[in-house]
Amino acid sequence: MKIRIRTRGLLTAIAVAGLSLGSVAQSASAASPGIKNGDACSKALYGKTRSSFKCTYNTRTKKYTWTTVKKVNTTVTTVAGTVDKTGWPKKFVIGAVPSENAASMTLKYQNLVKLFQDELGIPVEFYSATDYAGIIEAQVANRVDLAFYGPFSYIIAKNKGAKIDPAGVAVSSATGVPGYKSYGIALGTNSAVTSISNFKGKRICFVDPSSTSGALYPTAGLLAAGIDPTKETITYAGTHDASVLAVKNGTCDVGFAYDDMVDKTLIANGRISAGEIKTVWKSGLIAGSPIAVRVNLPKSLVAAVRDIILNKANKTAMVKSGRCTSESTCQIIEDSSWGFVKTTDSYYDGVRQVCESTKSSKCK
């Protein structure tokens, strides 16, 4: 297999995005004259308030605007005030396998990080790695306490010795069923590619060796189409957005990414236009992505984390508490997920079976 890897330091190159989450600075003055809901603000003012308005960032329009703040119900009891915190760490660290660049990931996880800090009553940081292996190794080494994975990277982390279990699985709506798909893609104008069988002999973009929808399921799909990936030219783009953009820019002829990145995220932020990228292959439904907690933390902390994930880390609860102004603009993690529902490790046995079918060494 001829492989070009764009990301470097696959096991150790970890960039810590120092997300300082002290109390949001409040303006001591009265409301600034003339400010109205929807008026433009700036990146420098992000998170700051002016009386009843807060400078927010919309990931769809990529604009900073003043938004009316709903008052938080101060009678809500937080985890910090109701449990024994004996043995808890001085800080709690949240991480995620990268679907986009570190700056975007840090920004999109800010609501979740702030929620955990308020609920746990200890400092909380977001930990950003340059590749999937960085997050996996960080949780194996107990440097990350809670991590959002793809199913395959979660399995790899457990296989490598991480003491983790799912605290929840992401869903797209309050009544939604967990799961997503891998897409095989090409330029919309590329008439030579109409199915995955046309990927033979093409320059193919995968995402990361540990990606579920960007490597594992594509490998299974290619094998089912009679194409041996080890005999093809594979480029690991590093992130899902990079894989799609590599196809757009012609670096790769074809590629793979998860469904929402192709159908929603890149179109919403203007990096591709509708129809510019076509989907020529779809995997079956993949088990939903887990958010995994270290189970070697104090039991009271693990229980608190599960409670926050299942009952408070969702768009409905975030709006009700005043942390978000609406569900349509509320960001919990890097994609459009509503929040999380309960799951167990055995839910990912189907992914383990797909892994075994590809004869990947990562399955052991």
Q: Mean pLDDT throughout 75-99?
A: 83
pLDDT tens sequence across 310-361: 999 999 999 999 999 999 999 999 878 999 999 999 999 999 999 999 988 8
Q: What pLDDT does residue 204 have?
A: 99
Please tell me the distance from the alpha carbon of residue 361 to that of residue 364, in angstroms, as a whole number: 6
Which H or E run contains 87? none
Q: Mean pLDDT throughout 121-145?
A: 96
Q: What pLDDT does residue 43 have?
A: 76
> Burial level of 25, CB count in 10 A (0-12/13-18/19+)?
exposed
Please tell me the distance from the alpha carbon of residue 168 to that of residue 313, in angstroms, as a whole number: 10
pTM: 0.75
pLDDT(6) > 60: no
Q: Mean pLDDT throughout 248-252?
A: 98
Pairing verdict, β 124-129 and 92-96: parallel
Q: Which domains does the chain have, with CATH numbers?
A: 14-176+289-353 (3.40.190.10), 180-286 (3.40.190.10)
User: Per DSSP, what are the bridge partners of residue 235?
Assistant: 4, 205
Lowest mean pLDDT among 10-14, 75-79, 91-95, 197-201: 10-14
Q: Dihedral sign, CA of 165, 170, 171, 177?
A: negative
119 and 312 in contact (C-beta within 8 Å)?
yes
Please tell me the distance from the alpha carbon of residue 308 to that of residue 293, in angstroms, as a whole number: 12
What confidence tier does 18 reach under pLDDT thresholds 50, 70, 90? very low
Q: Dihedral sign, CA of 138, 362, 181, 268?
A: positive
